[in-house]
Structure formats: C-alpha cells, structure tokens
A and B are shown apart, each in its own frame.
Chain A
Amino acid sequence: MASEPLIFELASPGRPGVRPPLPQFDAVDPAAVLPEGQIRGALDLPEVSEIDVMRHFVRLSQRNHSIDTAIYPLGSCTMKYNPKINEVTARLPGLLEPHPYQPESSVQGLLALIHDLEAVLAELAGFATVTTQPAAGSQGEMVGLFCIQAWLRSRGERRTTVLVPDSAHGTNPATATMTGMRVEPLGTGPDGNIDLAELDAKLDDDVAALMLTLPTTLGLFEQRILDVTRRVHAAGGQVYGDGANMNAMLGRVRPGDLGIDVMHLNLHKTFTTPHGGGGPGAGALGVQAHLAPFLPGPRFVKTDAGYALEPAGPDSIGRVHSHVGNVGNLIRAYTYIRSLGRDGMREVADDAVLHANYLRARLAPHFDIPYDRICMHEVVLAGTRQRRLGVRTTDIAKRLIDYGVHPPTVYFPLIVDEALMIEPTETESIESLDQFAEALINVADEAKAAPDLLHAAPTTAPVRRLDEVTANRSPDVNWTPAD
C-alpha cells in the first residue's frame, strides 16, 4: 500500500481552510491592546483545503484495525463492542455543552446522572462509595494509594512498602513510585496464585498495601483470595484492587466483598466507553467507608434541595482533574449500565468467561499453557513450543495480522515466557471465536512447516516490520521539511 503523505505535504500557501464564523463585533486591533512583543509572527501551520483534510484523515483511519473491523483480543484491555447508542447520548446538547462553572441548579440532570452512576458502580463492585473523578485506571491507582497513605497517617502510622505481584500491570509499580512508596515484588506459585508463604514473610509493619489484580493477569481467579486479604489486614495493611479485569466478575462476585479496600474500575474496558485509539478512558475508584473521607473532591451528592457538588472535606488527598473527570465517558458508561440492567451484567461475565475458556480448550493442543486450569475472561498461552522451532511470539503476532485479526497482548504478563494473552470478550460470536482460533492454529502449523512465513510477516498490512531501533536511537518525533 502506498504511504499516506503527511498533512504538511498536502499544504499549499494561501489555500483556504474552513471558514470561521462571521464577526459579531467591530474588530479590535490586537496591536493596539496587547503589550509589545506579545503578538506572534508567522504561524507555521499547514494550509490545507477542507476536502483534503477530510480525505487525509479518512485514509489514515483506514490504516487502522478496530473493534468494528474484526476481533481485537488484546488481553487485559477488554476490547468489546462499543454500543452506538452511547455515542448518541454522550452528544445530546444538554450533556455535551454544560460549562463546569454554571450554577448547579442549571445542571441537575447531569449531576443526577453521575451521582446515580457512582451509586450503581458501588453496588456492582461492593464498595461504600465511588468517585468517578480519575481520568483513567492509572490515575485511580494513584488516588487509591494516596488515600491509603492518608488513612494510615490518620491512625498515626507511616508505612512505605507496597507489595506488587510479579504478574502485575506495569502501572502498579509505577504508581507506587509516584506516590513515594517502595515496591516489594511478590512471587506467583505454580498454581498461578500468590505464594502465601512469601506473602507471610514479606508482611511487616512497613507494608502499606498489597496491589492485587483480580482476576490476575494470568486470567485466573486467586483461589485463596480471602486468605490473602485477611493476612494483609491482620498485618495492618490495605488491599488495593486493580479492576482492569472486572469484566470477568460482573454480577458474579463483588470484589469489595472479598476484603478489597479500594479498587479502580476501567470504564473504557468493562463499561464499553470506547478506547479511542489510546483514550480517553475513565477510572472510577471504589472505596470502603474508612477510606471515603480521603477521596478527591468535589463529590456528587443528593440533598433535599437537589443534586450538588460538595467540596472536598479537610482530609481529602486533593483534586486530580481540572474539573470532575471525563464526563463524556461517564455518560456512555451510564447508558451502557441502563441498557444491561441487573441480568445483563451477569450475562457479560458469563459469556466473557465462557468464550475465553472455549478458546483455551480449542488452542490447548497447539500451544503451551503454563497455568492450565479454568480461566476467567482471558487465557494466557506461551509460545515456548514455537520458540524451539525458531519462531518467536512476535512472529506469531505479526503473522496473525496477515489473517486480518488483531494479535493478542504479547510478552505480558512478564512471568510467562513468550506470552500471548487472549481476551476475546463476551461480544464475539462463536463464528468469530472459531475464525480467530483457526488463524492461530494455522500460524502454529506454519511455524512447523514454513517458519519463514512468520519471520517475514506481515505482508498484507500497509507497512512491513518497522525499524524501532533507529526510531529509538535518533528519534524523529516532530516533522521538519526535507532540505
């Protein structure tokens, strides 16, 4: 496929873009009202016609894979169908146009919607209260660890260690560092559970929290979860839940009932707000009652006089967003939850888990599965058998591209060699699951019979394999015209 020119290469001096609104007022000369030196000279931006801008970005979009194109089984990301009604409700003028500082009496519908969303999320996940302010899961993690620190301080304690299993998302240790804490890794036993003996050995009076992903990134439910949370609490620590994998639990179990003190929910994963090519997400945070006083403000409250934004209390860890969060995504999540209702929630978890186990069963003869038991919403394979044939997981992934399906998450979790982490989600049909399984099985066969096909892949994508080494060594991240 020919490459698409850069927007800069479509420009021509003097070419008009979209017309701005007609002036409503007599013009004021900026030079007459602004201080000297404060008005810029030339604005070095491309001059492109409207139709060329439209075509350029349409053509670029066509060089993308998306959920609406075909299966996108990226493990840990929950790439499920994004209902189109969500996009309609999020664009209703009454929800899209309000200004953050208009009077609360003039945004009662919006305040009610977010208040009710927080209440439903708290009920679903088993927490005393939920804040929807964090813009994504990672920001939720940061708020959660700050809340734990503040709670410890309120009890006259200072603890600085965070236990993080070796299977955890990279955000967990990165968040611990941002919150000034020290990371102590925790091993995973051969059954895929936390090693309780190691946990006991590491639980001391400096442990502020255990960060636990449930189900784990191995796609497994921690079988001794109640033992784990009980031990952490007995040692005076708190349990932080990484809720990236909530899709497996909807309606089946509430993490808050299992001893988890605080957990974020990725609304862009479990609650179908679109991933947007990388964001925006939304990272609601649920906490048990003892942590509630520390949450960021403002909080959405219902009073006798209606819905209101209540300023943060004296113990709050502080604000993390310029206003109240990614409201557009909260509207989408609310729309989804109202569409599903109580029974739909459980059907999500049931089919997500069923679909993952179906792929596990179909792929088991062809790939190593290091932790081979009933999985939850995702299954983690290892390309170790294929590596012995001189084929790496990268090669398997790149060959899948030639089959028109998006590869799974690869080389994660770090504790699985040559990992392939597959999360099909509940919204794929059995035909789609079969197509994906057959593509992967074909690739496994090709690894034996014709490994060069894998090494050369992809050949049907807009580009072939890219030179990442040069890109890192001499980064070209800002276009300059060629000489």
Chain B
Amino acid sequence: MSYSPSTDADRARMLRTIGVDSIDDLFVDIPDAHRDPTLDLPAALPEVDVLREVRALAEQNRVPEGVPSFLGAGFYRHFVPALVDQQLLRSEWYTGYTPYQAEMTQGTLQSMYEFQSLVCRLTGMEVANASLYDGASALAEAVLMCRAITRRSGVVMAGTVHPAYREVAATYTQAVDVELRTVDAWTRTGNDVAPDIEAVAAAIDDTTACVVLQRPDFFGWVVDPTPVVEAAKRHGAKIVYVVTDPISLGLLTPPGDLGADIVAGELRSLVGPPAYGGPGAGMLATRQAFIRRLPGRIAGRTTDLDGQQGFVLTLQTREQHIRRERATSNITTNQALVALGAAISISALGPAGLRDLATRSLSAAHRCAEALASVGATVSNAAPYFHEFIVHAPRGAEDTVKALADRGVFGGYPLGRVDPRLADALLVCATDLTTRADLDALMNAWQAVHRG
C-alpha cells in the first residue's frame, strides 16, 4: 500500500508511452549487485491497524493530563485556543511548501509577514525572519550573526542560558573562530541561589562580539540587565536575549527596550503542548541595520502590476539557493507551520489574553512557592522570578524527583544536571494550566517524600 492510485492497466499504458517493457527497465542504471536488496522490514498495515499499534505505544506514556507536572525548564504548557490547531489542520496550510510561486501562495506569504510583524511587536524589535528550527538553533544563528557583524570572536554566555541552547551554539560554532566563554551568572549562599549579573558584565571586553542573556533566565529569574547592557555598549559588543517562553513577553519589558540587538527564542508554548520537544519554532528578531545578516526566509510586502497589495519572499540574495557558499546560513526548510500557529495564537489571545496568561503563570508559581514553604520546603527567595523557582531538595534533587514521580507527580527539573554545585536544587514551574488539584498533589507528595 503506497497511496499510489496507479492500476496495472495505467502502468501498462505508461510503459508503452515510455517505450520500455517493464518497470525494471527504468532501474537499469543501478549497479546490478546492489539492485533490489532484500529488506528486513515488517509487512504493510491498513490504517486502523496502524492506529491501534501507535495508540498502544502512546498509551505507554504518562502525560500531564494524568500526572500533575511542574516541569518547565525551557518547555512550557500554556492554554492554546482551540482554533489554532483547527487552522493548522487545514490542507491549504499544511500540505503546501515554501512559497516559491508567490501568486499561488499569497496566504502563506501574507501570514509570514503578519508573523514577522507580530514578533516585532512582542519583542520590541524592528525586523524578524519567518522562523528557524527551534530556540537553540536561533541562538546559534544569532551568535554567528554577531560574529559577522562585529568581526570579533568572543562570546560571553551567561550560565543562566538554557544548557541545551548553549550546547547547540557550541556545536554550530565549532569550526569557525568563535570563542564561547560561559560565565556562571549566579552565586550560592547557603541554600539560596542568586543571580550575579555583574559577573557577566565583567567578562565583556573589546574582543566580545556579543553577550547572551536569557529572559526569564533558565533558573526562572527576571534580572535587571542594566550592568550588562552598559558594559556591552562601552565595549561595542552586541546584546542577544534568549526567550524560551514567549508568553512571558505578555508581561515583561521586551528585549527591544533593554538594548537588544538580537532576540532568539522559542515559540512552541504558543502553539501546543511540549510534544517531547518538537517541532517548535525558533524566532529571530533584530534591528533594521542587521536585516541583510538575518538567516532564513523573510516575507515582504509589495504591489502587483495593478498596484494591488501582495507579498513575496524577499532579500533572497542572503539565502543558500542564490548565494550558495556565501549565504548567511544553510537553512532552507524552516518551521513555517508552527510559526503560523504562533501568529494565529497571538492574534486570538490578543494583548489582554497574553497578559492574562503571563500574570496567571506568575501568580500560580508564587502561590505554589508559598504552599511548598508552608509544608516545610525551603524556597530560594533570593531573586525575583516569573513562573519558575528554585526549591532546596535536601535529599538531592534527582532522588526527590524520582520519589515524587513514584507518587504520581512530575515535581520539577533537577538543576544538578546543569551544575553539580546545584545537586540539591529543584526547578519548579507553574503556569496558567496548573490547577489547585495539581498543587495539592505536589504538596501531599512532597510531604510524603520528606516525612522522616
């Protein structure tokens, strides 16, 4: 079963037109010794049997519907309006491709233009591309942009940037002259862990191409970046902000108002549940001055022969299909459908809805922190946070997480995975989807785990 509509009669007719006797005759250029290998693959299954099989695999997984979850750490659950997925299931969106023929793909092109405009408003930036693979590769591309813009090689990376993002940036830059320097950006006093923005500022010098901060950072904190912004300006370094949860922009001062040259972020939480990490969509926004350094697709507004408004892919001389080895990046296929979902989601929620999701997430996290403290947990109160906070886990965070999971709660992310000095620190997240019942379950499990 290959979804091919051809019958044997059709095939015979086509072979006659071609002038060959059999389909085998079309494969004669393949070396004889390697043609038609015996493959060790299972047999075909009808639709319903495939569904049964995949459903059985799906049902082996435990998901937040059944397990209260306080996991965040770069992958967040928020309310997503039902119309978003209804739209993404429209054939006209999901079965088209990159709008190479503009007149026939005005819907996709206009939606890309709207997406770019919405991202600019959300981030406070002037131009945005139409998406990259994910937040991590967006950061990597941002770093490469800064290298090209400044012709410098130093990168000061705050240790409070998502660890996977930092790893991806290191992978992307391994073959070019970029020197990544990670600065702790936090200190520890007793059980309190606190941001250290001055340490990041102190690491910037005249060789620094860019400094990278995350907002809110990986530990959940919202930090005033002024010392870093001032140091960067003093030394001519670019400032890159990472945003792993776009809902936070419903409430927090946008990076564009905080000296950002580039914003690199992840949009998944606007579109749906974490989906085990993908597909998300990377956003990359910058200032007008750097538009020709942006990687990836960009839609532009123009007019047609009759003077009517229309949209095209623009500035394509940056891209690999035109510029080849001199392109700004090798990216081609991006995450257009997820970006479209983000544009629809932002439009449906509106400014009030986004702010509500953000403030509800902030409220939920702070009430959870109070509740945990009320049952004896030590919450690190050293710094202001958005929707994630650090709890001291005296028996070790990995062990605590396992014990909580045994009691049916995903309690958070053990920060020892980022740094062994934080082996007893647990990162707990709550959002607008966190319920009272979830919190009760966490409190009960926490008490059970810590009772004697």
Given contacts A318-B167, A428-B5, A475-B298, contact A67 B95 (CB under 8 A): yes
Asked whether, in the complex, the Cβ of A124 is within 8 Å of the Cβ of B39, the reply is yes
Asked whether, in the complex, the Cβ of B30 is within 8 Å of the Cβ of A221, the reply is yes
Q: Which residues of B contact A220 (CB under 8 A)?
A: 29
Instruction: Report how far A83 CA is from B2 CA in the complex, Å.
Output: 10
Interface-lining segment among B44-52, B150-158, B185-193, B205-213: B44-52
Q: Which residues of B contact A94 (CB under 8 A)?
A: 55, 57-61, 63
Asked whether, in the complex, the Cβ of A40 is within 8 Å of the Cβ of B350, the reply is no
Asked whether, in the complex, the Cβ of B121 is within 8 Å of the Cβ of A45, the reply is yes
Q: Which residues of A contact B250 (CB under 8 A)?
A: 43
Q: Which residues of B contact A100 (CB under 8 A)?
A: 74-75, 274, 276-277
Q: Which residues of B contact A8 (CB under 8 A)?
A: 114, 117
Q: Which residues of B contact A422 (CB under 8 A)?
A: none
Q: Which of B42, B93, B325 has the most chain A CB within a 10 Å cutoff? A: B325
Q: Which residues of B contact A281 (CB under 8 A)?
A: 333
Instruction: Report how far A67 CA is from B47 CA in the complex, Å.
Output: 20
Q: Which residues of A contact B47 (CB under 8 A)?
A: 83, 85, 339
Asked whether, in the complex, the Cβ of A139 is within 8 Å of the Cβ of B137, the reply is yes
Asked whether, in the complex, the Cβ of B304 is within 8 Å of the Cβ of A322, the reply is no
Q: B23 is contacted by which of A48, A89, A353, A406 (Cβ under 8 Å)?
A: A353
Kindly provide the distance from the CB of A439 to the nearest chain B CB, expressed in whole angstroms. Answer: 14
Q: How large is the interface on B (under 10, 10 to 19, 20 to 34, 35 or more residues)?
A: 35 or more
Instruction: Report how far A272 CA is from B122 CA in the complex, Å.
Output: 34
Of all chain B residues, the one with the shortest Cβ separation from A334 is: B54
Asked whether, in the complex, the Cβ of A465 is within 8 Å of the Cβ of B337, the reply is no
Instruction: Report how far A331 CA is from B54 CA in the complex, Å.
Output: 9
Kindly provide the distance from the CB of A38 to the nearest chain B CB, expressed in whole angstroms. Answer: 5
Instruction: Report how far A366 CA is from B257 CA in the complex, Å.
Output: 60
Q: Which residues of B contact A77 (CB under 8 A)?
A: 97
Q: Which residues of A contact B29 (CB under 8 A)?
A: 220-223, 374
Instruction: Report how far A21 CA is from B432 CA in the complex, Å.
Output: 7
Q: Does B67 contact A (CB under 8 A)?
A: yes
Q: Does A303 contact B (CB under 8 A)?
A: no
Asked whether, in the complex, the Cβ of B136 is within 8 Å of the Cβ of A74, the reply is no
Q: Does A197 contact B (CB under 8 A)?
A: no
Q: A275 is contacted by which of B14, B86, B97, B316 (Cβ under 8 Å)?
A: B97
Instruction: Report how far A69 CA is from B90 CA in the complex, Å.
Output: 11
Q: Does A50 contact B (CB under 8 A)?
A: yes
For window 66-92 of A, CB contacts with B under 8 Å fall at 66-69, 72, 74, 77, 79-83, 85, 87-89, 91-92
Q: Does B446 contact A (CB under 8 A)?
A: no
Q: Does A453 contact B (CB under 8 A)?
A: no
Kindly provide the distance from the CB of A85 to the nearest chain B CB, expressed in whole angstroms. Answer: 5
**Residues of A contacting B: mostly:** loop
Asked whether, in the complex, the Cβ of A24 is within 8 Å of the Cβ of B171, the reply is no
Q: Does A301 contact B (CB under 8 A)?
A: no
Kindly provide the distance from the CB of B311 to the nearest chain A CB, expressed in whole angstroms. Answer: 8
Q: B41 is contacted by which of A16, A25, A69, A345 (Cβ under 8 Å)?
A: A345
| CB < 8 Å A-B pair total | 708
Q: A23 is contacted by which of B28, B276, B360 (Cβ under 8 Å)?
A: B360
Beta-carbon contacts of B294-313 to A below 8 Å, as 1s and 0s?
A: 00011111111110111110
Instruction: Report how far A342 CA is from B267 CA in the complex, Å.
Output: 38
Q: Which residues of A contact B65 (CB under 8 A)?
A: 93, 97
Asked whether, in the complex, the Cβ of B41 is within 8 Å of the Cβ of A466, the reply is no
Q: Which residues of A contact B385 (CB under 8 A)?
A: 33
For window 278-293 of A, CB contacts with B under 8 Å fall at 278-281
Q: Does A235 contact B (CB under 8 A)?
A: no
Of all chain B residues, the one with the shortest Cβ separation from A405 is: B104
Q: A106 is contacted by which of B25, B67, B321 (Cβ under 8 Å)?
A: B67
Asked whether, in the complex, the Cβ of B40 is within 8 Å of the Cβ of A477, the reply is no
Q: Does B92 contact A (CB under 8 A)?
A: yes
Asked whether, in the complex, the Cβ of B325 is within 8 Å of the Cβ of A176, the reply is yes
Q: Which residues of A contact B17 (CB under 8 A)?
A: 358, 361-362
Q: Which residues of A contact B360 (CB under 8 A)?
A: 20-21, 23-25, 27
Q: A468 is contacted by which of B19, B127, B312, B364 (Cβ under 8 Å)?
A: B312
Instruction: Report how far A331 CA is from B279 CA in the complex, Å.
Output: 11
Q: Does A257 contact B (CB under 8 A)?
A: yes
Q: Does B35 contact A (CB under 8 A)?
A: yes
Q: Does A471 contact B (CB under 8 A)?
A: yes
Beta-carbon contacts of A30-56 to B below 8 Å, as 1s and 0s?
A: 100111111110111111101001101
Given contacts A60-B107, A426-B3, contact A17 B224 (CB under 8 A): no
Q: Does A395 contact B (CB under 8 A)?
A: no
Q: Does A241 contact B (CB under 8 A)?
A: no
Q: Which residues of A contact B435 (CB under 8 A)?
A: 24
Interface-lining segment among A130-138, A384-392, A443-451: A130-138
Q: Which residues of A contact B278 (CB under 8 A)?
A: 135, 280, 321-328
Q: Does A146 contact B (CB under 8 A)?
A: yes
Q: Which residues of B contact A88 (CB under 8 A)?
A: 51
Q: A87 is contacted by which of B26, B89, B99, B354 (Cβ under 8 Å)?
A: B89
Given contacts A25-B364, A135-B137, A477-B113, contact A99 B75 (CB under 8 A): yes
Interface-lining segment among B231-239, B341-349, B372-380: B341-349
Asked whether, in the complex, the Cβ of B116 is within 8 Å of the Cβ of A477, the reply is yes
Asked whether, in the complex, the Cβ of B330 is within 8 Å of the Cβ of A175, the reply is yes
Q: Does A165 contact B (CB under 8 A)?
A: no
Q: Does B357 contact A (CB under 8 A)?
A: yes
Given contacts A100-B75, A174-B323, contact A467 B303 (CB under 8 A): yes
Beta-carbon contacts of A166-178 to B below 8 Å, as 1s and 0s?
A: 0001110111111
Given contacts A93-B65, A108-B61, A327-B278, contact A254 B37 (CB under 8 A): yes
Instruction: Report how far A353 CA is from B18 CA in the complex, Å.
Output: 11
Q: Which residues of B contact A199 (CB under 8 A)?
A: none
Q: A350 is contacted by which of B23, B273, B277 (Cβ under 8 Å)?
A: B23
Given contacts A279-B334, A478-B128, contact A103 B79 (CB under 8 A): no
Asked whether, in the complex, the Cβ of B90 is within 8 Å of the Cβ of A358, the reply is no
Kindly provide the distance from the CB of B62 to the nearest chain A CB, expressed in whole angstroms. Answer: 4
A-B contacts besides A278-B108, A279-B131, 5 pairs, CB < 8 Å: A53-B347, A87-B89, A109-B57, A176-B325, A276-B94
Q: List 17 A-B contacts (CB under 8 A).
A: A6-B114, A7-B114, A99-B71, A170-B323, A173-B324, A174-B324, A174-B327, A253-B31, A319-B171, A321-B134, A322-B278, A341-B44, A343-B44, A345-B39, A355-B14, A462-B310, A471-B301
